[in-house]
Amino acid sequence: MAQERSQWTGRLGFILAASGSAIGLGNLWKFPYITYENNGGAFVLVYLAAIAVVGVPIMVAEVLLGRRSQKNPVGAFRVLAAGKPGGKWWQAVGFLGVLTGFVILSYYSVVAGWTIRYILLAVSGKLAGLAHHPAAMQSFFGEFLSNPWQQIFFHCLFMGATIGIVYFGVGRGIERAARFLMPVLLSILVMLVVYSFWTPGFGDAMRFLFRPNFSELTTGGVLEALGHSFFTLSLGMGAMLTYGSYMRKRDSIPRAALTICAMDTMIAIMACIVMFSIIFSFDFEVTKSSTILFTTLPVVFFQLPGGSAVSALFYVLVAFAALTSTISLLEVVSSYAIDELGWRRQRATLTMGAAILVFGILSAVSLGGNATLSDINFIGRSSTAGVFGTLDYLASNWFLPVGGLLIALFTGWFLGREASKEELEEGNGPLGWAFPLWRFLIRIAAPAAVGAIIVSVILGAEYQ
Ligand code: PHE
């Protein structure tokens, strides 16, 4: 199997695909609602700090590990850790990553499926009727969630689209999709931001987001901000590592990593500005924050001029963003099967995709369709209820930070200074002071921050 590894066709190809992975439901669905739950300002600041201190250095590290090893997450650790202390045990970090990708994709695709339902609603004109009565909108969404067949159907549709793209591989599938989807996504979002600027709630939204009140911040909120910084940047499970393995040697890793982090953060903030401006324009009571996107927003969209067009555009935006993320999740699992199990790409994407699709049915029916599955809740908070909530909680608040911590420790303490320096300067040129700064962040600051938060949550009864 001396086949050459696929590559992105250019610098932009990698940046678009990787930003596509990063920008997704995390930015448009999750960030706004956890910001809302954690009362804005202070939470946003902690999140921005987490991106800078933990997100950026780990993004650099993951891409570096991928491009250096030219492998999937398991293979990368196998190759790079060979002969180092702990040698083959590091592969476990890769396995954790592949497993996390499997788990995240299984429930992520369920939410992504909702966007298809909403595009259909908006285009067919039915959304207008529902959205004129907040109660009708709520009960529509409730019934939709508890209808197991519909949940399964849209989840399957979304998985089908994902499998269909990854099936065609890195250049013809993933990159081609990203080159089309990302510019459309950006244009739609910019239009919506301009639109929100003219709504009466714009000022309140800005105050809510950028005026911190630290007395409202909890330990749980800090963990959530940290966990989310991993989730939103697709870090801690090898997605960026896998995409990095297709990166050309003549492109710069630090520059690409910074661009991706900046784009992702910008989009998350823009999404909040749009959503909160619209919500604060009306005295609208948000009953369940995790469903803002599907119950509150449609109602407010239709209070404003052009509701049908705005809402259709909006759900297309969300669907596109989700699709470029589900692609990267499936690619991690597939590239593992291709490299490590020696499968052909077609077999890998179809088999792994089907396995994830089937596992995802548990989440799909746990939203009200099946009482047993929706009652599971060993963490005991409303947002962690059911198979769906539990998997999301475990994956984003535990698997990703733990994976990220181990990736940071490996890169900082085991990979070797020279190897990192060489890879980071390849395609970039001398890094100067930036290299020691990154080394400090990846060896000390990032592990300390992630470690401290993990320990404080384990010890602290405050949380829950
Ligand atoms: N970053 C994606 C989002 O914000 C989710 C994701 C997580 C994708 C981990 C890949 C890996 O929606």
Q: What pLDDT is stored for residue 384 in this prediction?
A: 67
Q: What pLDDT is stored for residue 249 in this prediction?
A: 93
Task: Tell me the backbone φ, ψ of residue 2, rounded to 5 degrees.
Answer: -85, 25
Please tell me the distance from the alpha carbon of residue 8 to that of residue 130, in angstroms, as a whole number.
44
DSSP 6: P
Q: Which of 234, 320, 333 to mutate to test the pocket of ligand 1 (most atoms within 8 A of CB)?
A: 234
How far is ligand 1, taken at its centre, from the CA of residue 289, in Å? Answer: 20
Atom of ligand 1 nearest to the CA of 22: 1
Nearest CA to ligand 1 atom 10: 234
Please tell me the distance from the alpha carbon of residue 308 to that of residue 395, in angstroms, as a whole number.
35
Look at the alpha carbons of 375, 379, 380, 384 in this order and tell me if their dihedral is positive or negative: negative
H helix intervals, 24-72: 25, 31-37, 41-50, 56-69
Please tell me the distance from the alpha carbon of residue 349 to that of residue 339, in angstroms, as a whole number.
13
Q: Tell me the residue ranges of DSSP E strands in 32-138.
A: none
Q: What is the pLDDT of residues 297-322, one digit of tens each?
A: 888 788 777 888 888 888 998 999 99
H helix intervals, 286-399: 297-301, 307-340, 345-364, 371-375, 386-394
Residue 180 CB contacts under 8 Å (≥ 6 apart), including other chains:
none
Which tokens is 50 given? 């987490």
- Cα dist. 223→22, 46, 182, 230 in Å? 19, 10, 30, 11
Q: What pLDDT is stored for residue 313 in this prediction?
A: 86
Q: How many CB atoms lie within 10 A of CB 172?
A: 12
Q: What is the pLDDT of residues 239-263, one digit of tens each?
A: 999 999 999 999 999 999 999 999 9
The enclosing H or E element of 15 equals: helix 11-22
Nearest CA to ligand 1 atom 11: 234
- Note if the pTM is more than 0.85: yes
Q: What pLDDT is stored for residue 462 in this prediction?
A: 45
Nearest CA to ligand 1 atom 9: 234
Helix pair 386-394, 345-364: axis angle to 10 deg:
120
Q: What pLDDT is stored for residue 160 in this prediction?
A: 97
Residue 393 CB contacts under 8 Å (≥ 6 apart), including other chains:
379, 383, 384
Atom of ligand 1 nearest to the CA of 264: 4
DSSP 460: -
How far is ligand 1, taken at its centre, from the CA of residue 416, in Å? Answer: 29
How far is ligand 1, taken at its centre, from the CA of residue 237, in Å? Answer: 10
Q: Which residues line ligand 1 (CB under 6 A)?
A: 21-22, 24-27, 104, 231-232, 234, 237, 239, 325, 328-329
Q: Which residues of the chain have pLDDT under 50?
A: 1-2, 461-464
Cα angle, residue 48 at apex, residues 310 and 377 outer, rounded to 5°: 75
The amino acid present at 303, given as its one-letter code, is Q
Instruction: List the helix and strand counts (H, then E) for the chain.
Output: 25, 0
How far is ligand 1, taken at its centre, from the CA of residue 100, in Å? Answer: 11
